[in-house]
A and B are shown apart, each in its own frame.
Chain A
Amino acid sequence: MLNRREFVKSIGAMAASATALGAFATAQAQARGGAHVVVVGGGYGGATAAKYLRMWSNGAVRVTLVERERSFVSCPISNLVVAGVRQLDDITLSYDNLRSKWGVEIVTGEVVAIDVARRQMQLADGTTLNYDRAVLSPGIDFLPELIEGLAGNEELLPHAWKAGPQTALLRRQLEAMEPGGVFAIHIPGVPYRCPPGPYERACVAAHYLKTHKPGSKLILLDTNPDIQSKKGLFMTAFNELYSDVIEYRPSSTLRRVDAQARRLELEFDTLEADVVNVIPPMRAGRIVDQLGVPLVNDRWVDVEWLSLEVKGAPNVHVLGDALFPAPAMPKSGHMANQHAKVAAAAILNLLAGREPNPTPVVMNTCYSFVDDGSAMHVASVHQYDVEKQTFLAVEGSGGVSTAASHLEGQYALVWAKNVWADMLA
């Protein structure tokens, strides 16, 4: 605890540093004709950051969004595409509103180099972008080299863990499978993008197999020793809905694959399947290697949670799945959207010479389908803890559904509609 004198002194010091910082930031912004923020990656984190920076600055801050793809394809709901309940078109959205309604400058391209000291980015086509602050929301990249024989074989053994052509490919392979066939899914060790996602995929694919490919089996190979999210609810679905389809095998580490033969070698076992979905181990999107900072476990980015500014890389903020998460914080699209809002608010404060909001809150909601219409949720609320300097899940808050239901199936689709609008409309 501060005594009164120290308290008054610290407030004074804070005010003084804020004023000095403010003058500097203002001079800088004026010299450049308005601050410029470059956002890299137009997913749940990046698109939200771009929109909210424009909205909350009333258009005063220039925002450029660099994205490789021309449209956004959502990972959430993509398991329904794999199961044939939805089409790829249903989860594909345009970036047009960000441009026309919010004034975000959209560059279709790829950032290949970042000079943190010069606050400069290089695009693959040679273009240079200068920034006052950068936001990287690069999602994940895969580490297929950790499983022998996997690298370069993503057409034969699709991951479908980045929505788009891979989603459609896995769908086609399932459709082409003969009734009575075997579909194998491999889950990497934690942490990976979307903890409940693989179990949801198993459920909705099992529903498809049960109704369209009678006699088929689904083998769920989990590197982890147990179901990683909504455990009781998924156990219920596996046992009550799909006991004749799904075989769940925990602690199944995939050592080697023969892609042509679709043969999977585990530690103590080998199996062959007709369709194989290997979700590879993952890490932060590789562009973060440009920041020149050490990654946690060589994979994830460490940030100051009040601003999501990267430790050791000033003026660069990282969001979403690429982060080394706070305790009990999932790698989810919903959470990336929430990160984006904390970062956008902090960036606008910092550009104005103020400290970031000292009491941010983020929350997560994640729905999983168990068939073509019923879903269940997990929710959590995370408040910033001053002492621990991280977000902590609020004790007694959050939780899961009592059971999967059609009502929550409706809510899951409504969630998608609203979160897509929150980031892109």
Chain B
Amino acid sequence: MKTTMAAAILCLLGAAGIAQAQDPDLARNLAATCANCHGTNGHSAGGMDSLAGEAPDRMMRKLMEFRSGERPATIMHQIAKGYTEDQLRLIAEFFAKQ
């Protein structure tokens, strides 16, 4: 019981540590790596899908399908594999709000 409690406290501390270590603008910064092709803040300058305003679940599903190779692509299957699932979720949530 005591061990479980200690582990739980450590987990909480760990979580707090991560929360503290994470930059408040992390989602914005990650999403900015997409802008070269998809436009600043996801507003495409033409010829490429705009990501701004897309429902986060829908985008997350697409990104995970690119990542697994399930969804055919010329390049996105290679790019999506470079990001963690947590990072992709932050990116999807950021674009949804644009």
Contacts and interface: CB of A to CB of B under 8 A. Distances in A.
Contacts of A408: 74
Interface stretch (A111-119, A133-141, A211-219, A373-381): A373-381
Given A397-B82, A418-B45, A357 B25 contact: yes
Interface residues of A, number: 52
B17 A11 contact: yes
B38 to A, nearest CB: 7
A422 interface: yes
A359 interface: yes
B35 interface: yes
B59 interface: no
Contact of A357 (B29, B35, B36, B78): B29
Nearest to B39: A418
A337 B29 contact: no
Nearest to B67: A397
B45 A417 contact: yes
Interface string B52-87: 000000000000000000000011001111110001
B78 A418 contact: no
A67 B82 CA distance: 34
B36 A7 contact: no
B78 A358 contact: no
Interface string B32-48: 11011111100011111
B83 A418 contact: no
A368 to B, nearest CB: 13
B79 A360 contact: no
A381 B23 CA distance: 20
Nearest to B76: A379
Contacts of B75: 365, 377, 379, 401, 411
B29 A379 contact: no
Given A397-B78, A418-B45, A422-B35, A361 B10 contact: no
Nearest to B87: A361
Contacts of A413: 47
Contacts of B80: 397
Nearest to B91: A361
A338 interface: yes
A381 B74 contact: no
A417 B47 contact: yes
Interface residues of B, number: 34
A359 B26 contact: yes
Contacts of B36: 334, 337-338, 365, 415, 418-419, 422
Contacts of B45: 417-418, 420-422, 425
Contact of B79 (A345, A381, A419): A381
B30 interface: yes
B74 to A, nearest CB: 6
B1 interface: no
A52 interface: yes
B33 A338 contact: yes
Nearest to A407: B74
A33 interface: no
Contacts of A362: 33
B37 A365 contact: yes
A113 B39 CA distance: 35
A396 interface: yes
B8 interface: no
Contacts of B46: 414, 417-418
Contact of A398 (B28, B47, B48, B79): B79
Nearest to B16: A11
Contacts of A232: none
21 contacts: A4-B13, A341-B32, A345-B28, A359-B23, A361-B87, A380-B82, A381-B79, A381-B82, A394-B81, A396-B81, A397-B78, A397-B81, A411-B74, A415-B48, A417-B45, A418-B35, A418-B44, A418-B48, A420-B45, A422-B40, A425-B40
Interface of B: 10, 13, 17, 20-23, 25-26, 28-30, 32-33, 35-40, 44-48, 74-75, 78-83, 87
Interface of A: 4, 7-8, 11, 51-52, 55-56, 334, 337-338, 341-342, 345, 349, 356-363, 365, 377, 379-383, 393-394, 396-399, 401, 405, 407-408, 410-411, 413-415, 417-422, 425
Given A422-B40, A425-B40, A425-B45, 5 more contacts: A342-B29, A361-B29, A381-B82, A419-B37, A421-B39
